[in-house]
Structure 1
């Protein structure tokens, strides 16, 4: 009887061990399947220049791409460095490429980067003065008046393609002026100080930007054609199309009205709203546009 009981207990123990092993294998298999089914997609990196126009489109695209299951990172850099990052594969997307000003980068890195979509057109850029300077309506009108501006023209950071064009314009119009480079915020702060005391001031301006809503300013005519009306594009690293085809498809369909970008900049800069909240509000109120970009 003892032998029978011992044999029964042994058999039962073996069954329990086998059962547990089988369960563990099943659970492991299920876990493997779950891991495969919920596999985290690659990280997509956005290049972000220190311009207010870069923020709203980047935030909107980030939220939508994260909803696709990707991890998104942002790299802060000047325009030249962003294009270098794109060419090396360190950066995947840049939402704020200004053409034709940035054509030099597209040509230089053409083997590794692609012009993927037009974000918006009619983005004017050039030299700006306050409207109280009634006798200055063209860049050429500055000649002979340079000393009243302390021979200075305020612009954005060195390395931006616009700074090269500004130097070309100074030479082309024969102006005795020097370009003073700073961040966008530094440039605007300097211009504001001058405008508050109604002093002569000339600086670099572009749309979309809240400067045209906040200040009584005008874009100077450029008869020599140094500054063209810009078209803002989305640029991607060539590898993105293969590595993240759904994200690439979304970006290739990207489009947003310039007025919407300008409104969002105002909410961020003037009203102090968080960029991600402003971007999410745009997505919620423009689901038809989002669906179209997603190909739905």
Structure 2
């Protein structure tokens, strides 16, 4: 009888110890899953103050939130966005123009990665109104710089396009001063001139609403085609995103938008539509990108 009691006691203790071990394992698994979910839930998107950055940022924000991520959007100038990507304060940026922003890709190549293009065949360069009928190529400006007050109005310093514009000015030996500004101020100056059918020279990129809204054209560049000869637009991520958020990384590698859709969304936003609502409308028309596709 004593042997039976001892055996029962040992059995009870074994079951208890097994139960504790199982509970501990379950707790550890729950903790690990919690950490994994916590990692999945936090991503930071960089946003620059250009209209072209808003549609892809809002769309990807909606898609990733639908897939369980918590998204923070941080706005900064382009240099600060790339620096934030490099030090992992920002995880993703969705409006990287290539090759215009090559200098940042090279500077931070150890810690950031360029993914497949969101859209291609984007264009940029010097821009004038359509009614400046005699000015169709950059070379047509030579000797006529005074008609635009010897000024080329552009965007903020620090954007690589500013360097390329200055190189283009120098290549043609144009007597114009490159004026840095914000996108909004540049467009306001262009509207003031085009409303009066007056000449103006500015920087522009397509897709953008400026071409339809103000009747503008990008000048060709036959003598120096090495400048502004076409662009593709890419997501940029910190290299840890592939491991930290593999589902988001895979999405960004696959996700594309037609350039026509981009132009339409940018025009809607520039004309006063809410960027979030514009993104929601695009997703309604492209539902395959939601629901964990």
What TM-score, normalized to structure 1?
0.84
- How far apart in 1 are the matches of 2:32 and 2:241? 23
Q: Which aligned runs of 4 or more in structure 1 are off by greater than 2 angstroms?
A: 32-42
For the residue of structure 2 that corresponds to 1:206, the secondary structure is: strand
Gaps of 5+ in 1: 1-25
Deviation string 1:123-162 (CA, Å, 9 cap, x unpaired) is: 0101111111111111111111112211100101111111
Larger Rg: 1
**What corresponds to 2:165 in structure 1?**
166
**What corresponds to 1:50 in structure 2?**
49
- How far apart in 2 are the matches of 1:110 and 1:42? 26
Quote the offset at 1:273 in angstroms: 2.2
User: Closer, same or farther in 2 for the Cα pair 1:35/1:115, shift >3 Å?
Assistant: closer
Q: Does the Cα contact within 8 Å between 1:100 and 1:228 map onto a contact in 2? A: no
- What is the total number of aligned residue pairs between the two structures? 264
**What corresponds to 2:153 in structure 1?**
154
**What corresponds to 1:18 in structure 2?**
none
- How far apart in 2 are the matches of 1:116 and 1:138? 33
**What corresponds to 1:237 in structure 2?**
238
**What corresponds to 2:66 in structure 1?**
67
Quote the offset at 1:42 in angstroms: 3.9
Q: Does the Cα contact within 8 Å between 1:118 and 1:233 map onto a contact in 2? A: yes
Deviation string 1:152-205 (CA, Å, 9 cap, x unpaired) is: 001011111111001101111001111111111100101111112222111111
Give runs of aligned pairs for residues 83-94 of structure 1, distance below 5 A. 83-94=82-93
Gaps of 5+ in 2: 1-22
CA RMSD, 1 decimal: 2.1
User: Closer, same or farther in 2 for the Cα pair 1:234/1:152, shift >3 Å?
Assistant: same
Please say if 1:256 is aligned against 2:257. yes
